[in-house]
């Protein structure tokens, strides 16, 4: 459990430092994390948010595989599961 605490402390420190670096450093960090250059139109604050999300994902874990599959199906034009209303499922 102590290892997890150190990871959270490091994560908190990394997140705080994002607000203190310039655009060039953020673009370099993006390249490191995402493996491709940041799109030219992305503003500083948006880069901070995206990089922060990626750092949290790496430190704490990402989406469950079932959620990834659901999102991929929806993105391809499929439907997600029908919402449940009471004890019945809508058709």
Nearby residues of 9 by Cβ (< 8 Å), 6 or more positions away? none
Q: What's the confidence (pLDDT) of residue 22?
A: 94
**Is pLDDT at 89 greater than 70 in this prediction?**
no
Query: Distance between CA 67 and CA 64 in Å, rounded?
Result: 5
For the chain, the C-alpha Rg in angstroms (whole number) is 18
Quote the tokens at residue 67. 């959620």
The residue assigned the tokens 């901070």 is: 48
Q: What's the confidence (pLDDT) of residue 63?
A: 87
Are the CB atoms for 55 and 33 separated by under 8 Å?
yes
Query: Distance between CA 81 and CA 83 in Å, rounded?
Result: 6
Q: What is the pLDDT of residues 46-83, one digit of tens each?
A: 999 999 999 998 888 888 998 888 888 888 887 766 66
Q: What is the pLDDT of residues 11-51, one digit of tens each?
A: 899 999 999 999 999 999 999 999 999 999 999 999 999 99
Q: What's the confidence (pLDDT) of residue 86?
A: 59
């Amino acid at each position: 459990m102590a290892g997890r605490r150190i990871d959270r402390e490091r994560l908190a420190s990394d997140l705080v430092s994002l607000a203190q670096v310039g655009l060039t450093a953020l673009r370099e960090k993006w390249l490191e994390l995402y493996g491709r250059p940041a799109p030219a139109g992305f503003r500083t604050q948006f880069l901070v948010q995206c990089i922060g999300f990626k750092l949290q994902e790496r430190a704490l874990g990402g989406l469950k595989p079932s959620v990834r599959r659901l999102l991929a199906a929806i993105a391809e034009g499929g439907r997600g599961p029908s919402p449940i209303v009471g004890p019945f499922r809508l058709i």
